[in-house]
Structure 1
């Protein structure tokens, strides 16, 4: 089931989307090293604009959860930062 962006929440839509995608990465819904769905697909799935998706991906890059390869897309990193919990 897809988490939804809450239009009434205090957080910006791009922050909500970044948090949703981070949860999916950390839960394994997006496997390590796998390609994320494209910008247009994420935009449609979450009902947000492409700029919102881009800003969410910027946040995920800052959190070192994804890398973006020009003309190929965004990929989950091979090893999550802070994955050794304890």
Structure 2
């Protein structure tokens, strides 16, 4: 696949998807920081933020301010063949919000927040 026609944020999205698919990034794994990703891909932090937004919308990651971005429990299923492309964005957004809240509640119950 030629990366010349691919937007910089899309390259990051594709790379993270591939790392999830290959098992390099597993459920619960913390992604590198925005700064680290910006350096790795030689892009501006805003470009990384756009990629992270895409990944959140796709249900592959969730983010917590001050803690970072993490791979969702269902990410490997999503990139491994099952897709939710038929689902409206509003439903995907709600699903992600439920995942984020569930993760926060679990951390609070464990005394981590």
Which band: TM-score by shorter chain? 0.7 to 0.9
Greater than 3 Å deviation, 4+ residue runs:
81-86
Distance 1:27 1:44 in 2: 23
Distance 1:28 1:84 in 2: 10
- Equivalent in the alignment of 1:56: 51
Work out which of the two has the higher radius of gyration on C-alpha atoms and give 1 or 2. 2
- Equivalent in the alignment of 2:74: 79
- Equivalent in the alignment of 1:28: 23
Structure 1 or 2: more helix by fraction: 2
Distance 2:12 2:79 in 1: 21
The structure, 1 or 2, with the larger RCO (C-alpha pairs under 8 Å, 6+ apart) is: 1
2:17–2:79 contact (8 Å) kept in structure 1: no
Aligned residue pair count: 79
- Equivalent in the alignment of 1:42: 37
TM-score, length-scaled by structure 1: 0.81
TM-score, length-scaled by structure 2: 0.63
Distance 1:84 1:59 in 2: 17
Distance 2:67 2:74 in 1: 20
Using the TM superposition, give the Cα deviation of residue 32 of structure 1 relative to its aligned residue in structure 2, in angstroms. Answer: 1.2
Using the TM superposition, give the Cα deviation of residue 82 of structure 1 relative to its aligned residue in structure 2, in angstroms. Answer: 3.2
